Structure 1
């Protein structure tokens, strides 16, 4: 485990997946991240790369050849190198190798940088195309934030405030694939009130959400998490059944559409990088 901290926050990471496993508010001692209880969901903040969500039949086609990839790609199951670290910042790197090329035929570098400044953790991603030709990929974040159901509180006391949305257009999931149909969730004063039933039909998947700032808060006290992101056009909100967390997930890419022909270059939301090209995005969580 790798740890960085300042006088406000302490963050811990696992080299497996370069995953954020703990974020502690040092002023209150409160843990911000989901505990990773495998009875509900063993993840905490996996990186989704080089695909987000499920592929139809866990397969894709590129240049006439069929490849297999698990849901959310393989990066979360790979050990990252530590490229650089200091007291309040760490940079992890994953590069393509012989094993990755068997299932994903592109040479790449993926860097994830975690930086603490005051009461904010910023997570920055950089993908570089090291191949001789164009590279196709998606990337998503999947951080799970703890919901306090102790001390007289319950899940229904929490809500998510959106900076720029009056309603949410949701793409339902059908066998982990994205429906072409949409459903509308009307918000109350740009706010989604949480309950265990919110995720009874799986994640809320959005491709047209306007907000780039969300606030997870408890209306019974002053607990607040401010979540911001940049260069991620899509978003998911999810929790496992009856589990005390909620995931706020900015994505570049989504699961396959239910009618997708499995061609990687035609996949909705896929990014194309030219030779020597790079792509950057970030999200941040501020604790109040």
Structure 2
């Protein structure tokens, strides 16, 4: 079932499967902001990454001596969420642990995702609560794909990303979907990264030390601009599929396994721990100009 929110500026659509944002339309221009999800390139649009971000070494982890399998980016994007409440400008999705999740993730949890429209801005808020009797270990990430307009004489290379607080980016290359300990440096000109398809020839740009909490995706040839902000996500990824007309801006609380990780969940880089009844909050927002 599809859920929709709308005000005078924006119209947003969501799928109960994965509580995924699948459309965000600028009503003043009629432009679609979110990637179409063409499976020939990438079938996702804005999946929720939980309770892991990225790949695990051997697609598994160890907790208290037991080995558990976990798919890349976790299982939330493949689960149907309940609609906890909704109004014209806001909807709250909810996912709770169940018998199925406990087989490969031995924790009780409650995950709420709230989408709110305010004028020309969509805000996405997350709340993870530990409903277990013991400590809860998890990661959470966002993966929104933004459409790149290549019609009417426009090109992918006409776009760029401006960073609020970075002069350069320290990138961790991916090796078989795992994080390399080595880093590569991308120097920015005026805090700006030009978009090219070649930029993602080796997969995503993964950053663990990025300072910026505001990024602006903009077109050099017109006034199209997407202002992306986020809080309580220390890591970040930027990615696009080969020759596809989109770019993903991905705030993360947690990353894929480091290449030599021992697979112990409690020792995973970036993993979060919640005590019983404790919760964690994070958010991101996109403003259309």
Question: TM-score band (shorter)?
Answer: over 0.9
Per the alignment, residue 108 of structure 2 pairs with: 107
Shift of 1:133: 0.6
Q: Deviations over 1:64-123 (max 9, x none)?
A: 000000000000000000000000000000000000000000000000000000000000
Shift of 1:226: 0.0
Q: For 1:84 and 1:160, how far apart are their aligned partners in 2?
A: 35
RMSD: 0.2
Q: For 1:87 and 1:2, how far apart are their aligned partners in 2?
A: 10
Q: For 1:5 and 1:55, how far apart are their aligned partners in 2?
A: 38
Q: For 1:198 and 1:171, how far apart are their aligned partners in 2?
A: 14
Per the alignment, residue 26 of structure 1 pairs with: 27
Q: Deviations over 1:117-144 (max 9, x none)?
A: 0000000000000000100000000000
1:251 equivalent to 2:267? Answer no
1:206-245 pair list within 5 angstroms: 206-245=207-246
1:63 equivalent to 2:64? Answer yes
How many corresponding residue pairs? 288
Q: For 2:196 and 2:66, how far apart are their aligned partners in 1?
A: 44
1:50-129 pair list within 5 angstroms: 50-129=51-130
Q: Deviations over 1:197-231 (max 9, x none)?
A: 01000000000000000000001100000000000
- Gap regions ≥5 residues in structure 2: none
1:150 equivalent to 2:151? Answer yes
Per the alignment, residue 198 of structure 1 pairs with: 199
Q: For 1:62 and 1:151, how far apart are their aligned partners in 2?
A: 53
Q: For 1:53 and 1:84, how far apart are their aligned partners in 2?
A: 30
Q: Deviations over 1:29-76 (max 9, x none)?
A: 100000000000000000000000000000000000000000000000
Q: For 2:31 and 2:259, how far apart are their aligned partners in 1?
A: 41
Q: For 1:225 and 1:54, how far apart are their aligned partners in 2?
A: 29
Q: For 2:129 and 2:103, how far apart are their aligned partners in 1?
A: 19
Per the alignment, residue 187 of structure 1 pairs with: 188
Per the alignment, residue 169 of structure 1 pairs with: 170
1:284 equivalent to 2:285? Answer yes
Q: For 1:170 and 1:195, how far apart are their aligned partners in 2?
A: 16
Q: Deviations over 1:164-188 (max 9, x none)?
A: 0000000000000000000000001
Q: For 2:125 and 2:6, how far apart are their aligned partners in 1?
A: 17
Normalising by structure 1, what TM-score? 1.00
- Helix, strand or coil: the match of 1:228? strand
Q: For 2:260 and 2:143, how far apart are their aligned partners in 1?
A: 25
